[in-house]
Amino acid sequence: MKLLVLGGTKNLGRHVVEAALADGHEVTLFNRGQTNPELFPSVRRIVGDRAAPEALNDGEWDGVIDMSGFLVRDVSLSASILRDRCGHYTYMSSIAVYASKTTPGMTESAPLLPWPAGAPEDHFTMDLYGPSKVRNESLLTATFGDRTAAVRSGFVVGPYNPDFGNWGWALAHDLPMECAARPDQPIQYVDARDLAAFLLHLTVHRIPGPFNAVGPTRTMAELADAWRTAVPNPHPINWSPPEDRFHLPHNGTNDGTFQLDNTQALRAGLQLRPDEDTARDYTTWLKAGNIPPPPPH
C-alpha cells in the first residue's frame, strides 16, 4: 500500500513509519526536514510546510496518516489538496476534544468543545488545542466523508515519547519514582507501539469514525505498582515530589478526561499490551543509553 505520512520523524510518528515499513508498505514522508532528518534514509521524502503544501500536488496515495495537523488552516489546505488523491485519511486527534472534563465513561459521541467566536485558524495557543482538534476532525469529515478516521489519545508512552519519561528514567537508574498526582487519580494512557499499529490498521483497512484510543482506566497508585515490577527491589514511590510532571488537578476537575470508554476502538482493532510490558520495555530502552525526549511545554 502507498502511504503518505504527514510528519513521521518525531515521537509517535517514528513508530508509525517503523510499523508501516515492517509491514511492507511504501511510505512517503512530508515534513519540513528539520526534525531527525537522518531517519529512514530509504524512504521517499517530500520537503515542505503545512502552510504551503503545494509539493503534494503531484502524488497519489492509498492512505494518509496525519501526525502533524494542529492549525486549522494548515489541515484545511492539505485536505483540499489530497481530497481526490488518497483513499483514506487518518487524523491524529486528542482526548482534549471533549467539552466535559468530569464525566466518566464518555464515548466518542459525547459533546465536543465549541470553536471560540473570532478565534484565529492560523495561530496556535494551548487554549485552542482542543477546539482546533475538534474543528480539524469536522473539516476532514466534511472533506472525506467515511474515508476518514480521527484517533483521540492522551498520554502516549514508550521509546521516543516524553510521557511518563520520569518514571522510566527513575527505574532505569535505581531511583524512586515520583508522582505528584493523587494516588486515586484516574489515569489512562496507550503504548506508542500499540497506538501506531492502530493508526496503521485503520488506514490500511479504511475504517472510518472517531476512536478513543486509550487503555483501561487505572488509578495512579495501581499504575505505579505495575511499573515498579519492571525492576527488582524498586524504591517506594515519592508522592510529594518538588516538581509536578503530570499537572493533573487534585480536586477532580479533570478526572473524567481519563475515564473514557474505549469500547469502539477495541472493536475496531486496537490491541493493548499489559502495563508491566510497557514499563519493562521502556526501562530497558533507557538502560540501553537512550534519553527520553523533554516533555512538551
pTM for the whole structure: 0.96
Residue 223 lies in a domain: no
Residue type, 289: G
Mean pLDDT of the chain: 95
Residue 170 lies in a domain: no
Residue 255 lies in a domain: yes
Q: What is the pLDDT of residues 176-218, one digit of tens each?
A: 999 999 999 999 999 999 999 999 999 999 999 999 999 999 9
126 vs 86, more confident:
86
- CATH code where residue 136 lies: 3.40.50.720
Q: What is the pLDDT of residues 230-279, one digit of tens each?
A: 999 999 999 999 999 889 999 999 999 999 999 999 999 999 999 999 99
For the chain, the domain total comes to 1
Q: What is the pLDDT of residues 101-144, one digit of tens each?
A: 999 999 999 999 999 999 999 888 889 999 999 999 999 999 99
CA distances from 87 to 7, 82, 182, 224, 241 (A): 19, 9, 45, 42, 49
Distance from C-alpha of 198 to C-alpha of 151, rounded to nearest angstrom? 9
Residue 174 lies in a domain: no
Residue 245 lies in a domain: no
Per-residue b or e along 91-107, where b marks 16 or more CB atoms closer than 10 Å to that residue's CB: bbbbbbbbeebeeeebe
Supply the DSSP string of 178-237, one letter for each residue. B--S-TT-EE-EEEHHHHHHHHHHHHHTT--EEEE-----EEHHHHHHHHHTTSSSPPPP
Residue 10 lies in a domain: yes
Answer for the pair 71, 122: CB distance below 8 angstroms, yes or no. Answer: yes
Distance from C-alpha of 109 to C-alpha of 132, rounded to nearest angstrom? 18
Radius of gyration of the chain, Cα coordinates, nearest whole angstrom: 19
Distance from C-alpha of 94 to C-alpha of 111, rounded to nearest angstrom? 14
Instruction: Write down the residue that cell numbers 512538551 correspond to.
Output: 296
Task: Reduce the DSSP state of residue 244 to 3 states and report it.
Answer: coil
Residue type, 2: K
Range of the domain at 35: 2-156+189-216+251-272
Alpha carbon 85 to its chain centroid, in Å, reads 25
Alpha carbon 132 to its chain centroid, in Å, reads 15
Residue 77 lies in a domain: yes
Residue 228 lies in a domain: no
Alpha carbon 241 to its chain centroid, in Å, reads 27
